[in-house]
Structure 1
Amino acid sequence: MIMGKKVGIGGEKIAIINIKGVIVDSKKAVKEIRRYADNPSVKAILLRVDSPGGGVVASQEIYEELRWIKEKKGKKIVTSMGTVAASGGYYVACASDLIVANPGTLTGSIGVIMEFANLEGLFKKIGVEGVVIKSGKHKDIGSPFRGLTKEEKELLQGIIDDVYAQFVSAVVEGRKMKPETVKGLADGRIYTGRQAKELGLVDELGTLQDAINITARLAGIKGEPVIVERESGFPFLDLLKEEFFGGIGEGLRKGNISLEYRYIL
């Protein structure tokens, strides 16, 4: 049971923002963060993360928005980790003043993945021939009609390395850790919440209620805080939308290659 008054009037407030499922788009989270930015009664943001990560840019935009409200608006930020808060889910948590994980939370997975299908062998078997007309030799890089050349693999690895370095920098800055320490932990592996605490990737072990109490204390709230949380009206429909439009739709929109901060479950 979550203690705290779930009403929107009176008292000093903690706003709970949920990051659930695959991080496909940042708009909803950014809109919520901005909603509380200039509300003086909202003293802190509690980020509830239950996500394996997702798109690189979406994760970065949420992270930067959280840093903005913390540094420019003076709001305290605490992250409460649910079942999974990995890869991009961990990235956004690094903007927090403090991270609380359950002992059995799966977190970490600091790294980047790019994946696409090479269907060249299948197409040859079934007699499908791809016709490509392009302006440059790399314009169809990642095409399912052919494999990658050595040069193309090196180009894509360079992109992975750059985006990986951005992730490491966010962890170094957010967790106040040495780059070499983070790199030693950032090989894509996952950790339990208890392991993550021992390694310095999270600060405390506890439940969502523990995180609320910690947030109230950190924000200097006296007495019982008012909890502000937007309810999701149709979670099943949201899930379908995420799975269909976020999966198939995003795949079609972005083409054959995806670049993600994501832990593959």
Structure 2
Amino acid sequence: MEFLSEYLGFLARTATLVVAVLIVLAGIASLRAKGRRKGGGQLQVTRLNDFYKGLRERLESALFDKDALKRLRKEQSRDEKAKRKARAKAKTTETKGRVYVLDFDGDIKASANESLRHEVTALLTLATPRDEVVLRLESGGGMVHSYGLASSQLARIRQAGVPLTVCVDKVAASGGYMMACIGEKILSAPFAVLGSIGVVAQLPNLHRLLRNHDVDVELHTAGEYKRTLTVFGENTEKGREKFQEDLDVTHKLFKNFVVHYRPQLNIDEVATGEVWLGVSALERKLVDEIKTSDEYLAERARAADVFHLHYAERKSLPERVGLAASGALEHGFARAWSKLTAARFW
């Protein structure tokens, strides 16, 4: 019993020490996280030419034997030296154009705009009309004001005279297409979904349910149209008409925005809220070419220096854990939803 008592005391002291160390470490981590947040995020730059070269060299190493690979490397080195000599002989000071690659994976709030705005600001400090910006876009749309701001970031590139190419591999609909149409060139995968040039809004109304249970809801406003439709109050025909009028005005602005950047479109034909797959979108001039982003960037890497830009916000450990949990829930919901709606597409 004496031994057991001493042993339990030892465990208690050890546990106390461990907890104290963890508290200290958590405090240090919190202070470091605060210090990092003061500096914001960080721009990450990756040279995609090196990535593609690494893929090719890895495949060559697997396909060729040692002697053949050695000869191949010598030939490649000789060709590279010849190109350098030719450039030196021509006494040209021109450098290869640069291609800046951005990614935008849009949710309903266009949250990726927080990174996009910094990426655009950074590249515009160096980009010239000889360069190109390629945006790999994926979005089914969302809030009007959020996607309006994201579109304004892309408009900055056009205003600076830098060519903008938008690649759509999966979907660019509604607010996503609002962003895509700013590109001087839009490339689409064959089965990407594009269009949905329309506006939608819906909300439930619980007024009758509450009235049946003798629940009153009072809503006080100043201004005739401060509130048109409500969730709990009684909606009027006048409020519905005003709500629809606001939707029509937004739709008109949306159409005018698209026409400004793609005047070749028959806007009355495509601004019906419908979506089309890549090939059909090409027929309607919603896109300019059927090609995946991988194919296009691999081609550009042969003639230009290609850089991928990503502005990453520094996040604390609790924030990272929360984002991971949120991402898992979102992924699970997306999988369930895709199963429920699979028949719609096939």
* TM-score scaled by length of structure 1: 0.76
The residue aligned with 2:135 is: 47
Residue 235 (structure 1) shift: 11
More strand by share: 1
Aligned to 1:79: 166
For 1:61 and 1:55, the matched residues in 2 are separated by 10
Amino acid at match of 2:260: E
Q: CA deviation at 1:240?
A: 2.6
Q: 1:112 to 1:149 in 2, by over 3 A?
A: same
Structure 2 residue matching 1:4: 3-state secondary structure = helix
Aligned to 2:119: 32
Equivalent residue letter for 1:5: D
**What is residue 33 of structure 2 aligned with on the other side?**
none
Matched, 1:5 2:50: yes
Mark the structure with the bigger radius of gyration.
2
Runs of 4+ in 1 over 4 A off after TM superposition: 231-236
Listed one character per residue, the Cα deviations across residues 48-84 of structure 1 (whole Å, up to 9, x for unaligned) are 1111011112222222222222222x21111110211
Within the candidate set 223, 238, 261, 2:303 is matched to 223
Q: What is the identity percentage for the equivalent residue pairs of Structure 1 and Structure 2?
A: 24
1:204 paired residue number: 289
CA RMSD of aligned residues (A): 3.2
1:260 match:
none
* Conserved 8 A contact 1:53-1:89: yes
Q: Identify the residue that residue 326 of structure 2 maps to in structure 1.
A: 240
Q: How has the CA–CA distance of structure 1 residues 91 and 237 changed in structure 2, closer, same or farther, with 3 Å as cutoff?
A: same
Higher relative contact order (CA 8 A, sep 6+): 1
**Conserved? CA contact 1:13–1:228, under 8 Å:** no
Residues 202-228 of structure 1 show CA distances to partners (whole Å, capped at 9, x for unaligned) of 0011111233257x4xxxx87243222
Single out whichever of 163-172 and 22-31 deviates more from structure 2: 22-31
Change (3 A) 1:235 1:176: farther
Provide the secondary structure at the position in 1 that maps to 2:131: strand
- 1:257 aligned partner: none
Q: Which has the higher helix share?
A: 2
Distance 2:214 2:136 in 1: 50
Match of 2:198 in 1: 111
Gaps of 5+ in 1: 245-264
Check the 8 A contact 1:78/1:96 in 2, yes or no.
yes
Secondary structure (helix, strand or coil) at the match of 1:62 reads helix
Distance verdict in 2 for CA 1:236–1:135, change over 3 Å: closer
Gaps of 5+ in 2: 1-46, 53-94, 314-319, 331-344
Distance 1:144 1:97 in 2: 42
Counterpart residue identity of residue 65, structure 1: Q
Counterpart-to-counterpart distance in 1, 2:96 and 2:175: 33
Cα distance change, pair 40–138 in 1 and its aligned pair in 2 (3 A): closer
Matched with 1:189 is 274
State the 1:230 CA deviation: 1.7
